[in-house]
């Protein structure tokens, strides 16, 4: 990708979320920032996930995911959920299975729990379109965004 494009894309602002998912007895979580609402009726959101991520496999197989809104004070969760070990990601993090079975983190601003309705592979990331089946907002604090974090993901894995 052209360096000018990388600079411009690196200047875009996104929310930073923890995506959790499951299939059968397997669970995983990852950091996601390419997230957007795409419909009000029905309530749909989109998340982009690179195919080499373990979560990609679980979302495809399990057909669901949850997006957790983080507060600015929860930057510590980023390093935890960036790691490769699914068990380490959830160690000492309180969670419970949600309506779809996805892990729902107890300490977050809120979450959206989704069933996958469509998925597309328009480029090097897959787009999972999820219909919101459960949602809760626990706090009205300002959410964590890429403006609060020193690195911006522009798609290179």
Residues near 13 by Cβ (< 8 Å), separated by ≥ 6?
145, 146, 147
Predicted confidence at residue 15, as pLDDT, reads 94
pLDDT (tens digit, 9 = 90+) per residue, 77-97?
888 999 889 999 999 899 999
117 in a domain, yes or no? yes
Low-confidence ranges of the chain (pLDDT < 70): 151-157
95 in a domain, yes or no? yes
26 in a domain, yes or no? yes
9 in a domain, yes or no? no
19 in a domain, yes or no? yes
Predicted confidence at residue 12, as pLDDT, reads 86
Range of the domain at 75: 15-139
Number of C-beta neighbours around residue 15 at 10 A = 17
Predicted confidence at residue 63, as pLDDT, reads 99
Against a cut of 0.75, is the pTM above it? yes
Predicted confidence at residue 83, as pLDDT, reads 87
Predicted confidence at residue 157, as pLDDT, reads 46
Predicted confidence at residue 152, as pLDDT, reads 57
145 in a domain, yes or no? no
Structural domains in the chain (count): 1
Compute CA distances 39 → 7, 36, 74, 82, 116, whole Å: 29, 9, 28, 29, 14
154 in a domain, yes or no? no
10 in a domain, yes or no? no
Domain with 57 in it: what CATH number? 2.30.110.10
């Amino acid at each position: 990708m052209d360096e000018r494009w990388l600079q411009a894309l690196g200047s875009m602002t996104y929310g930073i979320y923890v995506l959790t998912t499951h299939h059968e007895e397997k669970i995983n979580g990852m950091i996601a920032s390419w997230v957007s609402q795409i419909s009000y009726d029905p309530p749909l959101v989109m998340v982009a996930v690179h195919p080499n991520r373990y979560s990609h496999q679980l979302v495809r197989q399990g057909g669901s995911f949850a997006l957790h809104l983080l507060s600015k004070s929860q930057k510590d969760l980023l390093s935890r959920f960036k790691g490769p070990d699914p068990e380490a990601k959830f160690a000492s993090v309180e969670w419970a299975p949600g309506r779809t079975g996805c892990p729902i983190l107890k300490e977050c601003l809120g979450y959206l729990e989704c069933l996958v309705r469509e998925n597309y592979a328009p480029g090097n990331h897959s787009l999972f379109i999820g219909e919101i089946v459960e949602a809760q907002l626990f706090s009205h604090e300002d959410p964590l965004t890429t403006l609060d974090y020193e690195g911006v993901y522009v798609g290179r894995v």
